[in-house]
Amino acid sequence: MKTEIRPQRVSDANRFYEILSSPNFIYFSAKPKSIEDEKNFLKLNPQKRREKSEFNFSIIYNNINVVAVGVRIIQGRAYTGEIGYFIDEQYWGKGIATDAVLRLEEFIKSKLKLHRLEIFMAKGNKASRRIAIKCGYQREGLLKEMLLVEKVWHDCYLYGKIIS
C-alpha cells in the first residue's frame, strides 16, 4: 500500500465536499457550505503557491483520493509552516495521514526554506495528536480556546518540530 501526494485540483471538489460533510469531523472547522464553495477554495491554490503562502495536496492511496494534507506559511513568520490534514473516514486508522505528513515534509525540505513546522489540534483530537508524535513533533504548549467548531471553543495543543 502506497501513500502519495499531488497538488489539489478543482476537479477534487466533489470528493472533498462529500468527505467534509461527515458529522464525524468533530474537531475540524474548515467545512465548505457547498460544492461551489469548495471549488472556489481549490481555484485559489495556484495563486497561493505562487505567493508561497499555502501548498495544498490531495492524498492518493491505492489510486484513490482519500483527501488532503497541506502546509500554510503564516505572514510575518516566513520560516514556519503550519501543517493540516484530513482523511476520508472510510480510511482512518491505516497510517495514511502519518505517511502523508512525511511525504509533505519531503516536499517542504526539497522546495521550501522552512526552519520550523507546527501542528495544532484540539485537546480531544487523540488521532491527530498521535500523528504528530509518530512524525517526531514535540508538544510545546496548550493554546486556550484557539479553535471554534460549531459554536464550541476548543483548547488546542501546539506540536512543533525543527527541520533544518
Ligand X SMILES: CC(C)(COP(=O)(O)OP(=O)(O)OC[C@H]1O[C@@H](n2cnc3c(N)ncnc32)[C@H](O)[C@@H]1OP(=O)(O)O)[C@@H](O)C(=O)NCCC(=O)NCCS
Residue 146 amino acid letter? M
Report in angstroms how near the CB of residue 26 gets to ligand X at its nearest. 8
Task: Check binding of 23 to ligand X (CB under 6 A).
Answer: no
Interface residue with ligand X among 23, 33, 93, 151 (CB under 6 A) is: 93
b (16+ CB within 10 A) / e for 91-113? beeeebbbbbbbbbbeebeeebe
Name residues whose C-beta falls within 8 Å of residue 156's C-beta, 6 or more positions apart in sequence.
Answer: 120, 121, 122, 123, 142, 143, 146, 147
CB 143 within 8 A of CB 123: no
Interface residue with ligand X among 86, 137, 157, 159 (CB under 6 A) is: 86
Q: Which is nearer to ligand X, 45 or 98 (CB)?
A: 98
Interface residue with ligand X among 8, 125, 135, 154 (CB under 6 A) is: 125
Task: Check binding of 59 to ligand X (CB under 6 A).
Answer: no
Q: Which residues bind ligand X (CB under 6 A)?
A: 25, 27-28, 85-87, 92-98, 121, 125-128, 130-131
